[in-house]
Structure 1
Amino acid sequence: MSHLVDDIKREFSKSENALVKIILTNTAVFLVLLLAKIILTLSQASGIYAWVLQQLQLPADLSVLAVKPWTIITYFFTHEDIFHILFNMLFLYWFGRLIDEYLGAKRVVALYMLGGVTGGLVYIVIYNLLPYFQNHIQGSGMLGASAAAFSVAVGASTLLPNYTFNLIFLGPIRIKFIALFYIILSLAQTIGPNAGGNLAHLGGALIGFIFIKMLQNGTDLGRPIYAAMDFYSNLFKKKPTMKVTYRQKQVHRTPNVYAETSASPSVEAPNQGEIDHILDKIGKSGYESLTKEEKQKLFKASQQK
């Protein structure tokens, strides 16, 4: 057990490991809730579990949301059903690793957070504005990272539409078709018991598309999230020790190592020869054969067009 805890701590200590951290956080919340449900149900205190769940799920009722504003964040880290979290985390991992390789770990977090928040806002708006949903607003709530995962998936599909996944029984399929399939599936389920949730998925998908298109045009919607991440990191970072040299009567501080290593090294814009070499390599061996630096150079080249 101690080895498992040490492994988790080691994963969280890595600065460029955002995707794994998101998946581990979702998994930890799911396991804690599952254990709590078992214990409280056997103790005939299931009402306590229901209360805990209400503190995490996103309510559709604005009067309830007003006293639980944190749920716009907590809902997309919370799952109850094993197949729900399994699908979301697999979906997130498959597409999230592409964003991580091409755009860096912080962009994965930005797409996940923006997709989750946007999906939540879409859910709230439709339940309060559309007559079909207004009749069901009382007691309605949403859980799950589907909108956030859709944002990452559509973001990756917008960035690399012709990248292929090898699916069992189906063979290689371009990721733009996989994302399109799930978007159509969500559209088909917009009338039904989970209609609000499926519309929230589409909200996450839309922000994923907009995020990448604006990034390619030089505008990064994730800047406020990066600032919040840096603030959070600095809040829990140990202050540098002070070394005093009395002979020189000067105070020296140790360098801020975290600031130097937290950001990935900048990649210079490639020249035409480098671009041709990368494209030849893709033609011979596919996207998977590129190094992380080559992928980032390819993305920089696409921004210059």
Structure 2
Amino acid sequence: MAFEGRRILNRVAALPQRVVLALIVINVLVFLFCLAAEVGRAQGWWGVSPAQWLGVPGTFPLPADRLWTPLTYMVTQTDFLHLLFNMLWLWCFGEVLSAASGNRKVLVIYVGSGLSGALFYVISTAIWSGAGMLVGASASVLGMMTAAAMLSPDKRFHVFPLRNVKLKWIALAGLLLAFLGTGGGGNGPGSAAAHLGGVVFGAGAGYYLRRRASLRVAHPRLRESVAQQMAPRFDSRRLSRLGRPTPEDYRRLDALLDKIRLSGFDSLSQVEKNELSFLSRKLNK
């Protein structure tokens, strides 16, 4: 039984989007904790809601006993629909970011967008009074959405009842919903400010990653240079076993090279590196 559990954990750890999955699990666990605590409060067991200690208060500057809330609010949801839609968006755009930039940058963008959202929210309380309390992953998710749309704007999704919708249009629709107040939050100007903070950080991160990827591609003939670096020396007998190149081979190689151009060679998984090596040998034999 212990061996089986360890094997499941190893499989989860090997998932390309493992950071996204971990963030979803944390959000769900915090939601269940807050739900159980609210039941206890309704029963009169205690008088304080956990969300009051996890959410960012609408005061400027932050109270000394709430300095941790810019980190905790971004994994705290008190409404099921808010949680559901945020986690769906997180999985969708987190998967795109994981493939384009790697797990570490997914975590950086999630946390950075959340902190930026908290900063914008707290500043907004100095302008608009009565902003309430900020909870939810919306700022983090909007930041990831913006970064993903900047990195892979033409990636296509099936969005029922539509087919082959480009990511940039999905992101635009999501941003409009968020700023119109139908995407969750509901704190008026404070919520809009938090959303804006997440978008600003996500846009900056997306621009940086695109810029960094473009600077890495210094050689104009990327296909030839990468293929020459990846392809080892094989004798003619071994190369003949690879078969003749097909149009699909060229399309797949171009897709891998596009990923390198956008996010660098380190963004490739080991399987993709092996595939790149195979295609390089096959197309250059």
Tell me what 2:133 maps to: 141
Shift of residue 63 of structure 1? 5.1
Question: Match for 1:122 among 120, 123, 136?
Answer: 120
| CA RMSD between the two structures | 3.8
In 2 relative to 1, CA 63–209 (structure 1 residues): closer, same or farther, beyond 3 Å?
Answer: closer
Structure 1 counterpart SS, 2:78 = coil
Shift of residue 173 of structure 1? 0.9
Tell me what 1:161 maps to: 153
Q: Does 1:54 align with 2:4?
A: no
Tell me what 1:69 maps to: 67
Count of paired positions? 239
What does residue range 245-284 of structure 1 map to in structure 2 within 5 Å?
271-273=221-223
1:187-207 deviation digits (Å, cap 9, x = unpaired): 3349x7533112211211121
In 2 relative to 1, CA 30–218 (structure 1 residues): closer, same or farther, beyond 3 Å?
Answer: same
Specify every segment of 5 or more residues in structure 1 that has no aligned partner in the other structure, as ranges.
220-266
2: distance between equivalents of 1:77 and 1:3?
31
Question: Match for 1:298 among 261, 265, 272?
Answer: 261
In 2 relative to 1, CA 100–141 (structure 1 residues): closer, same or farther, beyond 3 Å?
Answer: same
Structure 2 counterpart SS, 1:67 = helix
- Answer whether contact 1:127 1:196 (CA < 8 A) is retained: yes
Shift of residue 24 of structure 1? 0.8
Tell me what 1:90 maps to: 88
Shift of residue 33 of structure 1? 1.5
1:118-140 deviation digits (Å, cap 9, x = unpaired): 01101111111x2xx12x14xx1
Shift of residue 184 of structure 1? 2.3
Amino acid at match of 1:272: L
Shift of residue 40 of structure 1? 3.5
2: distance between equivalents of 1:144 and 1:216?
28
Shift of residue 27 of structure 1? 0.9
Structure 1 counterpart SS, 2:161 = coil
- Answer whether contact 1:186 1:199 (CA < 8 A) is retained: no
- Answer whether contact 1:189 1:195 (CA < 8 A) is retained: no
Matched-pair identity in %: 26
Shift of residue 8 of structure 1? 8.3
TM-score norm. by structure 2 comes to 0.71
In 2 relative to 1, CA 211–282 (structure 1 residues): closer, same or farther, beyond 3 Å?
Answer: farther
Tell me what 1:25 maps to: 26
Shift of residue 272 of structure 1? 2.9
In 2 relative to 1, CA 7–161 (structure 1 residues): closer, same or farther, beyond 3 Å?
Answer: same
